[in-house]
Amino acid sequence: MKQSQLLLSTKKAIKSKIEIASHQLLIRGDFIEELAAGIYSFLPLGFLVLKNIEKIIREEMINLGAQELFLPALQPKELWAKTTRWKKMDPPLFKLKDRHQKDFALAPTHEEVITQIAQKRIYSFRDLPKAVFQVQTKFRNEMRATGGLLRQREFLMKDLYSLHQTEKEAILFYEKVKNSYFKIFRRCGLSPFLVEASSGTIGGTLSHEFMVESPSGEDRILICKKCGFGANMEKIGNIKNCQKCKGRMERKNAIEVGHVFYLSDKYSKSFNLKFSAKDGQKSYVKMGCFGIGLPRLMAASVEINHDERGIVWPKEIAPFLVHLIPIPSKNNAIQKEIEKTSDFVYHTLQKSKINVLYDDRKNRTPGEKFADADLIGIPIRVVISEKTLSKESTEIKERKEKEGKLVKIKKIINFLVK
């Protein structure tokens, strides 16, 4: 992609008072734009990151054996009344009326819909187990929607639902999902803590959250310094000593990036979702649900992966892998040579399927180009200038490193794919 063609307008500073680093950097780098409180547009750079996160999550869900589907956001009141959540979840359930004055919800989660679908399809032990997931827009009628992508009213979420015969099988799957979540978060540049959590309005008997330690986080967690046991303070209160080893608990602020629930038969009961076992006995299907908010994961990754100059994207979710930056020269002949070489490198990278953003803008100083590059945080910077050309080289620098190194133009592909 040529940068001159990209819909991108970075900002040196923001006038309004935004305290959260990820919020500030994502706005300054023009990844997102606020439409209203807690409602964001994803601009081309931001959407590339979101799509990369979605790709990672989809891969790991398919590895788990889950099948993808797509459920409606707009749902009738009757569905929510069945589980009494029409009342219990208000707030934050988003409610509205259609033109016939019928009540609807804009769903924040999909247990009701999925249980109803399963109830019409699961009859016997032969139909189990099943796991389904979707990546879909969710809504929450938040009281306060500040904090950028950390607290949105409309957001993209991956939700996975599991259906099993027994609690034992359901918990085994729950453990598998936990492992797959750790993989997803690692691929997004994060290493979260797993903490025991309260099940809240989702319900069920067992629940864990994946927490990324960050001063911007709104969750308060306690972590045992000795054995690593962690819990959300919402669940255990402000205790001093660990339940497991009596070690001292340390208080931390954290961002929740994933939440898993073992629901048992809470929803199966509401919708009479039963299956007949081998011996003909009927039992309620045991369910689990597992969520990851994609924009929040993106913001958490920025919280952890940035410095004073901008974002430092982990390679797998970066909008581009390489930022190609020619440094203009006032000498015409040299300028022509720089342009020719840069075009050549650009096409060579593209041919090798290396995702590259080419800063072909003519009216920018080197300082402005480097400041933009540092702000938007593409992992590898390739600079072509009079100085590098005199050695038939480019200067390659990783965003997270201070110094770059000269690499011969002929060897650039070998260097980048190694």
Count CB atoms within 10 A of the CB of residue 205. Answer: 13
Q: In angstroms, what is the minimal distance from the CB of 220 to Zn ion?
A: 18
For the chain, helix, strand, coil in percent to 5 are: 35, 30, 35
Q: In angstroms, what is the minimal distance from the CB of 191 to Zn ion?
A: 19
- Beta carbon nearer to Zn ion, 37 or 245: 245
Beta bridge mates, 286: 164
Q: Decide the pairing of beta strands 380-384 and 322-326.
A: parallel
Beta bridge mates, 155: 138
Beta bridge mates, 307: 310
Q: In angstroms, what is the minimal distance from the CB of 226 to Zn ion?
A: 5
- Beta carbon nearer to Zn ion, 226 or 340: 226
Q: In angstroms, what is the minimal distance from the CB of 190 to Zn ion?
A: 23
Q: In angstroms, what is the minimal distance from the CB of 238 to Zn ion?
A: 16
Q: In angstroms, what is the minimal distance from the CB of 343 to Zn ion?
A: 59
Angstrom distances, CA of residue 404 to CA of 316, 378, 381, 398:
21, 14, 9, 7
Phi, psi of 379, deg, nearest 5? -60, -35
- Beta carbon nearer to Zn ion, 147 or 230: 230
How many residues are there in the chain? Answer: 418
Q: In angstroms, what is the minimal distance from the CB of 213 to Zn ion?
A: 17
- Beta carbon nearer to Zn ion, 251 or 387: 251
Task: Tokens for 190, please give them.
Answer: 């994060």
Rounded to whole angstroms, the Cα distance separating 152 from 139 reads 8
Site residues, Zn ion (CB under 5 A) = 224, 226-227, 229, 242, 244-245, 247
- Beta carbon nearer to Zn ion, 195 or 302: 195
- Beta carbon nearer to Zn ion, 246 or 340: 246
Rounded to whole angstroms, the Cα distance separating 111 from 105 reads 13
* N-terminal to C-terminal alpha carbon distance within the chain: 22
Find, among 341, 306, 303, the residue nearest to 324 by Cα: 341
- Beta carbon nearer to Zn ion, 244 or 411: 244
Rounded to whole angstroms, the Cα distance separating 32 from 54 reads 17
